[in-house]
Structure 1
Amino acid sequence: MKLKCLPEDFRVTELTDRPTHGRGSFAIYRLTKQSLGTPEAIDAILRRWNLARQQVSYGGLKDRHAVTEQFVTIKNGPRNDLSQTSLELNYLGQTERPFDAADLIGNRFTLVLRSMSDAEVASAEQALSDVAVNGAPNYFDDQRFGSLGQSGEFIAVPWCRGDYERALWLALVDPNEHDRPDDRKEKQLLRDRWGDWLGLKTDMPRGSRRSIVTFLVDHPTD
């Protein structure tokens, strides 16, 4: 059996009961993306519409190696759609406050399983019947502790021990086999010059990592 052979083999759709047609200064959108992480998608939107990061709010991070749908609000955002490579942003209406995790009631997952043997098909069908009757346990997997990079360390371990700099290092620069070329280049730059926040702010391209570097320049004791 093979899982996630293609991005469209794994689909995630956010569910909410929050009205998307109302009044207010926050424009609300549905963001559909493929083979793109949520921070990278938000960065692309910020660049295209020349927005400040604090204008944007969303309920959570969605998988990069998938096709995902989630809600995004933008303070005084454009009342129109945006289409770019790997993402679609569809304007839904106006709302009075930012969208956040408290607005989520769940996620809908659609999976494609490939190259299954007859025994695996039978097992999957039985499992589906069991889930329909008993539900599924809400297990926590490594996703909740951060993806493992080459270091083999979970971000949560140094975080819980109070070693916040190590946790930040793992989050920002730990190499991962799924890194895109631009990500690999940025991570290498950060590893080579870790701690030189002012210089890195000057030399790094705009994006989520540079925003963190900028914060560290402005808050050197954090």
Structure 2
Amino acid sequence: MSELPASSETCTSHTPALRGDCPSPWGEPLARAQLKATPDDFQVVEVMGFEPSGEGEHLWLWVEKCGLNTDAVAADIAQRLGLSRQALSYSGMKDRHARTQQWFSVHWPAGAGTANAGVWSLGDEWLPQDSSNAQYRVLKQARSNRKLRRGAHAANQFVITLRQLSFIGAATRELLDERLATIAVHGVPNYIGDQRFGHGGRNIDQGLRLLAERRAGQRRRRDQRESIWLSALRSALFNRVLAARVSNQSWASYLVGDVLQLDGRGSFFQPTNDDASWPERLSAGLIHPTGPMPGAGEAAVHDAVAALEAQTLAPWQQIIDDLAAIGLPNQRRSLRLCAPDLSAQWLADDSLRLSFSLPCGAFATALLASSIDLEESPHALFAE
């Protein structure tokens, strides 16, 4: 792959020292547009990559929701079935201000309790039955011998309509189409989106406060949001490494000491001289360089990559040590995000519809922001 030009676009930051900038290899945004003007403008369909087995003690429910976050739907289903919230699970969180479809699983052995136990008997009616836009419905059900675990799905399919689109400076529709075509071929930096950090970066602030209290030996009531706060810290650290590699133009190429990841999968490996195929696979977007999600354990990288990551993260070594002390594992995440099926349809001069698929854990906003400065509706910001 040829070297990629670097320029920068800035992430809004409540904690600028940690969040910093998110440079883009493709230049400044060419247009501005409104994201999520309506829930139907942001449609997401979960792709599992496999089907329920058809038998077993877990009931899977294929749910369409609108105006609700994933956990709220799980809680409501559990209440209607007379089960504990812990009986419900799902693979991925889906946006609240959107129209989404995904699987939920219920540990509910067939025939247990009452005659209707183990069967969803409410059909496909919208729930709750009121005039609000915050509703869900069960479109189908199936039996499975396994429960859904987080991150089990393979991908998400997006259909996103951008409204009130206006070009910046001398940009044109033709230039934007060219930028999108470039992204479809080469991908974008796999930044973790603002949703992870919370409104105004509050999840980072809460995470820093949590680590400081633990370091000081202060005991506090356990909060179920702690994992979200700690994830925000690790995500911000990952973004810093990715930003450094975009700046030195190595985000999509191999550096000595890299650990590579198979596209859309959790498998990692270190290339060897015995494998002559990996450079071509890297160029084709089938494998990617990775960056750290810091925690306990030795980093798998070495040489130039280990030095770059150590230098980049040195200002936040205390945070990394605290994360390791808690026991969060040192993990890796792809630096590059590819969407080879990206397609664009102009609905009007100021309306653009984009369709694409992304692997589990990727952020659609990371793909969009490399071309378009996004403005979300106030009621849609950080909904999940």
Query: Which residue number corresponds to residue 157 of structure 1?
Result: 208
Distance 2:97 2:173 in 1: 24
Query: Which residue number corresponds to residue 189 of structure 2?
Result: 137
1:161-172 map, 5 Å: 161=212, 165=220, 168=223
1:18·1:103 contact (CA, 8 Å) conserved in 2?
Answer: no
User: What secondary structure sits across from 1:133 in the alignment?
Assistant: helix
Deviation at 1:56, TM superposition (A): 0.8
Deviation at 1:34, TM superposition (A): 0.6
Query: Which residue number corresponds to residue 78 of structure 1?
Result: 119
Q: Residues 14-54 of structure 1: CA distance to partner in whole angstroms, max 9, x if unpaired?
A: 11112224210111111211111112112221222222212
1:82·1:89 contact (CA, 8 Å) conserved in 2?
Answer: yes
Deviation at 1:92, TM superposition (A): 3.0
Deviation at 1:153, TM superposition (A): 5.5
Distance 1:165 1:123 in 2: 54
Query: Which residue number corresponds to residue 178 of structure 2?
Result: 126
Distance 1:23 1:53 in 2: 22
TM-score by length of 2: 0.40
Note the residue ranges of structure 2 that are not aligned, 5 or more in a row.
Answer: 1-32, 109-117, 129-134, 227-377
Query: Which residue number corresponds to residue 362 of structure 2?
Result: none
2:83 aligned with 1:51: yes
**Larger CA deviation: 58-67 vs 78-87:** 78-87
Q: Residues 77-97 of structure 1: CA distance to partner in whole angstroms, max 9, x if unpaired?
A: 424445314101233311001
Query: Which residue number corresponds to residue 199 of structure 2?
Result: 148
**Larger CA deviation: 9-18 vs 153-162:** 153-162
Q: Which amino acid aligns with 1:133?
A: V
- Give 1:115's match in structure 2, choosing from 161, 164, 167: 164
Q: Residues 63-88 of structure 1: CA distance to partner in whole angstroms, max 9, x if unpaired?
A: 11111111100112424445314101
Distance 2:156 2:225 in 1: 27
2:74·2:104 contact (CA, 8 Å) conserved in 1?
Answer: no
CA gap 1:10/1:18 in 2 versus in 1, 3 angstroms: same
Which of the two has higher C-alpha Rg? 2
CA gap 1:140/1:102 in 2 versus in 1, 3 angstroms: closer
Distance 1:162 1:8 in 2: 42
2:19 aligned with 1:19: no
- Determine what percentage of the aligned residue pairs are the same residue: 28
User: What secondary structure sits across from 2:64 in the alignment?
Assistant: strand
State the Cα RMSD in Å. 3.1
Distance 2:83 2:124 in 1: 14
2:114 aligned with 1:62: no
Query: Which residue number corresponds to residue 207 of structure 1?
Result: none
Deviation at 1:57, TM superposition (A): 0.9
Distance 1:30 1:20 in 2: 11
TM-score by length of 1: 0.65
CA gap 1:161/1:107 in 2 versus in 1, 3 angstroms: farther
Query: Which residue number corresponds to residue 88 of structure 1?
Result: 137
Distance 2:160 2:183 in 1: 15
Aligned length: 173
Query: Which residue number corresponds to residue 67 of structure 2?
Result: 35
User: What secondary structure sits across from 1:36 in the alignment?
Assistant: coil
CA gap 1:167/1:5 in 2 versus in 1, 3 angstroms: farther
Note the residue ranges of structure 1 that are not aligned, 5 or more in a row.
Answer: 172-176, 180-222
